[in-house]
Structure 1
Amino acid sequence: MDIRNYGDVTMMVNEFYRRVKVDELLGPVFMEKIPGDWEPHLQTLRKFWYTVLFGEPGYMGNPFMKHTSLPIDKDHFDRWIQLFYHTIDDLFSGERAEDAKFRAGRMSLLFQSKLKDMRENKMKPLM
């Protein structure tokens, strides 16, 4: 079954971050940044992915800015994509599921490129 509604997005986000929390590479980065209640973060991500996948208003923000101070590199992004793709494939199949994976891949590449440029040029992130 494909990703059809906000409930499916909720299932996707919850399961993905359940996996992230216990991952040996990603878990410590996320647990350092979110040591307590994950629910506000998960609510934001549900809105983000619903907006991305359904084109509906809901998320407002700059997701890249949240990543600029994190100690992450290509290995982290590769693992993030691997976990994301596996989560999607375990839960869904269909056009929107494939679109979610495509968009996640594009975001990963964009974030990596922007972070690399910032770090190599010792630039501060723009708001």
Structure 2
Amino acid sequence: MTTEHTVDFEPAERLAKDHARVRREFWAKIKKVAARLPFAEDLLAAYYCAFDRQTPRHVQASLLGALAYFILPFDVIPDVMPLLGFTDDAAVLATVIRLVSNHIRSDHRDAARAALQRLKDGVTPATE
């Protein structure tokens, strides 16, 4: 029987490994591109929700998948293409956020706004 906090199709070790990779590579990429992303706040809110210990595992897995797609160097549409480069990232993120939107709380959004402001000010967010 599956509970809300388990992921039958993904071993826990794999999810932990993905957690570490997303956490490690996310901030490096967001620092480079935050100013160009119209969906940066949603991306950051998804990040904070994915790493919130209160977020159910299946939600974490979905968000980590979307975040991993954002940080991975291969893409359906390469991120270096002006205007079009992040459209596929935005589509994946928007789809996942719509599916798990009731788990992205106001404190995740507040943290996202604060981190985005720090990035715009040239300060590295403390949550790296």
Same fold (TM over 0.5): no
| TM-score band w.r.t. shorter chain | 0.3 to 0.5
TM-score, reference length from structure 1:
0.36
TM-score, reference length from structure 2:
0.36
Q: Quick check: which one's helix share is greater? A: 1
